Amino acid sequence: MIDFDLAQARLTDAGTAPKQHETCSLTLALGRVLAQDIITRLDMPPADNSAMDGYAVCWEDLQASASLPIQARVYAGDVPPALIRGQAIRIFTGAPIPANADTVIMQENCSEQNGHVLINEPSPQGVNIRRRGEDMQAGLPLIAAGTVLHSAHIAQLAAQGIASITVYPRLKVGILTTGDELTAPGLALPPGHIYNSNAAMLQAQLADLGVHETDHLHASDSLESIQNALQTLSTNCDMVLTVGGVSVGDKDFVKPAIEAAGGKLDLWKVRMKPGKPLALAYLNSKPMVCLPGNPVSSYAVFTLMVSPLIRGLQGRHERHARLSKGKIQLDKPWFNEREDFIRVQATYAPDGQLLLQPFRNQGSGVISSLPWASGLARMPSGVQVHTNTLVDYYDFAYWRH
């Protein structure tokens, strides 16, 4: 067995960004990963403009008189005349600031009568003006390559007049489930069988990460069936996930099937719980991660080990999500020889401290613990952990995406 941190690093390194790029319309860019840095093209705002409906004035003129004749009215999109000193220009939000004006007095502090504006409340010089380039400056970096584009990025790009961008191609992941005892959901359940929850679960976990193109095959517990499925998936997909059959039982054929197909095993067995029989291999130059068959174990290993690899294959520059610290809440001391990742629910104490409450049953087959849990707490190996000990916390809210 190898240590968890080393195994996680090896899987993370297996996620190399695609060499291919493609052009994507801005209208379809949500969730795509940017393949090239984008530099700001335009100053935003492109010129000083009014942040308020009000009156554009030269502040020094207000020191002589609080009543000024109104020279003109300027709306957003207009080209304003230069301000005549000693006068005011009625201005509306977004309109360019006239030459010679340096202050906008909001209309709530003014009253207008007989073509004049009376300034009822003084204002500091320079207020209520958005300065050219205060939002974005031409020539400066805007969005870095490797960024997953969200709605806020789309707003930035549209404001710069950008209609198409260069992105990495979408990832396609193959899923191989194994086990003669598994039946697809929706079918009648034969005696001694259970429903295949892993396939749907992994497809959903991949979708959380922005991977919507998957190819799922189910193989019987035979070397030939698994080998053929692995060849098909590794040919048609960018990476492959297998579930079950990777341990050392009589029907665990995944490892020998990889080797028989010409694959190369990079690591096998990790000093962690759940997830000990995890393996990383390569077949047809594609990474392949072999997950344990228990759904809870598979879910945890995908979160901790596979998600950084997926992010790398997508071209993301951030592969590891945020890691927090919390105080574990235990009824009795905890001890394990392996790194133990337990399902917990996070709450906050009155002083703001993060508290982690374990699920009552940490069995690897307890699927009901997954929707209950908010994340995983890492219980270090070889030491006794007591209540209120600070431990690493992997929040699903960050590690799922």
Note the pLDDT tens digit of each residue in 360-394.
Answer: 999 988 999 999 999 999 999 999 999 999 999 99
Residue 338 covered by a domain: yes
pLDDT of residue 250: 61
Residues 310 and 212 in one domain: yes
From 79, 106, 130, give the residue that closes a domain: 130
Summarised one tens digit per residue, pLDDT across range 58-76 is 999 998 888 999 999 999 9
Residues 75 and 179 in one domain: no
Q: Out of 259-268, 337-346, 378-387, which region has the weakest mean confidence (pLDDT)?
A: 259-268
The whole-angstrom separation of Cα 79 and Cα 240 is 59
pLDDT of residue 248 exceeding 70, the answer is: no
Residues 146 and 211 in one domain: no
**pLDDT classification of 111: cutoffs 50, 70, 90:** very high
**pLDDT classification of 246: cutoffs 50, 70, 90:** confident
Q: Name residues whose C-beta falls within 8 Å of residue 139's C-beta, 6 or more positions apart in sequence.
A: 39, 40
Question: For a pLDDT cut of 90, what percent of the chain falls above it?
Answer: 91
Pinpoint the alpha helices (H) of 30-74: 59-62
Residues 295 and 257 in one domain: yes
Summarised one tens digit per residue, pLDDT across range 194-220 is 999 999 999 999 999 999 999 999 998
Residue 198 covered by a domain: yes
Residues 27 and 91 in one domain: no
The whole-angstrom separation of Cα 18 and Cα 20 is 5
Closest of 310, 315, 274, 273 to residue 289, by C-alpha: 310
pLDDT of residue 251: 64
pLDDT of residue 249 exceeding 80, the answer is: no
What is the b/e burial string over 61-98, where b = at least 16 CB atoms within 10 angstroms of the residue's CB?
bbeeeeebeebbebeeeeebeebbeebbbbbbebbbbb
From 314, 348, 379, give the residue that closes a domain: 314
What is the b/e burial string over 32-58, where b = at least 16 CB atoms within 10 angstroms of the residue's CB?
bbbbeebebeebbbeebbbebbbbbbb
CATH value at residue 231:
3.40.980.10
Residues 94 and 155 in one domain: no
Find the Cα–Cα–Cα–Cα dihedral 199, 204, 209, 214, rounded to 10°: 50
Average pLDDT of the segment spanning 177-182: 90
Residues in the chain: 401
Number of domains in the chain: 4
Summarised one tens digit per residue, pLDDT across range 118-161 is 999 989 999 999 999 999 999 999 999 999 999 999 999 999 99
The whole-angstrom separation of Cα 136 and Cα 130 is 12
Residues 200 and 287 in one domain: yes
Residue 227 covered by a domain: yes
pLDDT of residue 365: 86
Residues 283 and 341 in one domain: no
Q: Are strands 264-268 and 279-283 parallel, antiparallel or unpaired?
A: antiparallel
Residues 232 and 283 in one domain: yes
Q: Name residues whose C-beta falls within 8 Å of residue 384's C-beta, 6 or more positions apart in sequence.
A: 333, 334, 335
240 residue type, one letter: V
**pLDDT classification of 179: cutoffs 50, 70, 90:** confident
Residues 285 and 364 in one domain: no
CATH value at residue 29:
3.90.105.10
Residue 121 covered by a domain: yes
Residues 107 and 192 in one domain: no
pLDDT of residue 56: 98
Q: How far is CA 368 from CA 200, 294, 363, in A?
A: 15, 13, 10
The whole-angstrom separation of Cα 5 and Cα 19 is 28
Q: How far is CA 279 from CA 2, 243, 255, 273, 378, in A?
A: 11, 11, 8, 14, 20
Residue 207 covered by a domain: yes
Q: Report residue 286 as tokens.
A: 């594609």
Q: Which structural domain, as residue segments, surrounds residue 338?
A: 324-399
pLDDT of residue 382: 92
CATH value at residue 116:
2.170.190.11
Residue 319 covered by a domain: no
Summarised one tens digit per residue, pLDDT across range 294-338 is 999 999 999 999 999 999 999 999 999 999 999 999 999 999 999
Residues 106 and 184 in one domain: no
For the CA atoms of the chain, what is the radius of gyration?
A: 30
Residue 270 covered by a domain: yes
Residue 330 covered by a domain: yes
Side-chain-facing half-sphere of 326: CA atoms under 13 Å: 27
pTM of the model: 0.90
Average pLDDT of the segment spanning 244-249: 72
From 148, 167, 186, give the residue that closes a domain: 167
| 91 phi/psi in degrees, rounded to 5 | -130, 150
CATH value at residue 373:
2.40.340.10
